[in-house]
Amino acid sequence: MEKELFRSWSKVLKERWGKRVQKISLDVGAGCPHREGLEAGGCIFCDYLGGGSGASLRGETLQEQIEKGFKVLAKRYKTDMAILYFQSYSSTNMPLDKLKDAILFAIETGMKLGQVKGLSVGARPDQIPKDFLDFLASLEGPDMGIWLELGIQTIDPSGLEWLNRGHGFEAIKRSLDLIRTYEQIQLCAHLIAGIPGENPKQLAISAKWLCENGAKGLKFHPLHVLKNTPLERLYVNQAYHPLSMEEYIRKVAEALRFISPETIIQRLTADATSHRLVAPKWISQKAIVIERLKKYMEENGITQGDSWGKSP
């Protein structure tokens, strides 16, 4: 049997559950401690939607979001199996009791509409209270996988500062040290390629370190420019130049080489709606990016984990 290029999230889910499982993105309006309200401040790349759908800003209730999500699953993906993904902003940036109630309500509502096979909660690494991890761990079971998604972006202190993340490497290390004590919770870390001034191999360095420190899944994203962000101002003033598609592909392929072969690749690139995206325009060609990445890996004899244990 031919070796896979990388360990695909969709394939892992299908092998476990027998058919397609799709995420439903949810927005509870948690906001972010690093923003001024929802309109200003925050990381250099983040717009007012906080990396999510903007459903809360549109006034959609949690029930409406879940109902809409299952309708999309049935119509577009021909499945009723879902992972409920609390995506927007930092979900733990709200009173714990309120977040618990929202999660339990979402699971109960989802079970009435289809099959909920997992829960995923997005958060900042400096907002991981132990009480919340205790709660998440209590939800894990044979039919319910629990994921915590952290916006790590990079482990390089200078990169974190350039991105204006509002925390340093120590916050990342503390959060991973704590999360590793919960075997019921699987960690998925988000990483950004193309941060100016970083080591050219930083994506691979960060990815390898995360795998060594408990990450079971990774999401890769190219740094891209959205409207009305600090990064847009830098781009307009020619103080920031995005990666080309080819540069991004090389960085991701290199990172895949140095991570554990067991790590689940949940995402290989980003996407953004045309009315929000400023640059680079190739971000909107997600399928093409992935196909070219596969071709590059095949042509260069690269597979995930083939340099695991070595240094980038």
CATH number at residue 265: 3.20.20.70
Host domain of residue 189: 9-299
CA separation for the pair 91, 9 (Å, rounded): 22
pTM, two decimals, is 0.94
Q: What is the pLDDT of residue 3?
A: 67
pLDDT reported for residue 40: 47
Residue 1 lies in a domain: no
pLDDT of residue 306: 96
Could you tell me if residue 169 is inside a domain? yes
Q: Is 309 part of any domain?
A: no
CB 128 within 8 A of CB 153: no
Length of the chain in terms of residues written: 312
Establish if 139 belongs to a structural domain: yes
304 part of a folded domain: no
Say what the pLDDT of residue 55 is: 75
Residue 2 covered by a domain: no
Tokens linked to 244: 């080309």
Number of domains in the chain: 1
How far is the C-alpha of 241 from the C-alpha of 196, rounded, in Å? 8
CA atoms of 194 and 211, how far apart (whole Å): 20
Residue 257: inside a domain, yes or no?
A: yes
What are the mean pLDDT values of the chain's consecutive 10-residue runs (312 residues total)? 82 95 91 56 70 71 96 96 89 90 97 97 93 96 96 97 93 97 98 96 98 98 94 95 98 98 97 89 95 97 96 94
Question: HEC string of 178-209?
Answer: HHCCCCCEEEEEEEEECCCCCCCCHHHHHHHH
8 Å CB contact between 137 and 121: no
- Please report whether residue 85 resides in a domain: yes
Taking the C-alpha atoms of residue 154 and residue 163, their distance in angstroms, rounded to an integer, is 9
Strands 81-86 and 35-36, sheet pairing = unpaired
Q: What single-letter DSSP state applies at residue 144?
A: B
User: Quick check: 74 and 80 in contact, CB under 8 A?
Assistant: yes
Give residue 49's pLDDT.
56
**Could you tell me which residues come within 8 angstroms of residue 196 by beta carbon, excluding any fewer than 6 positions away?**
162, 240
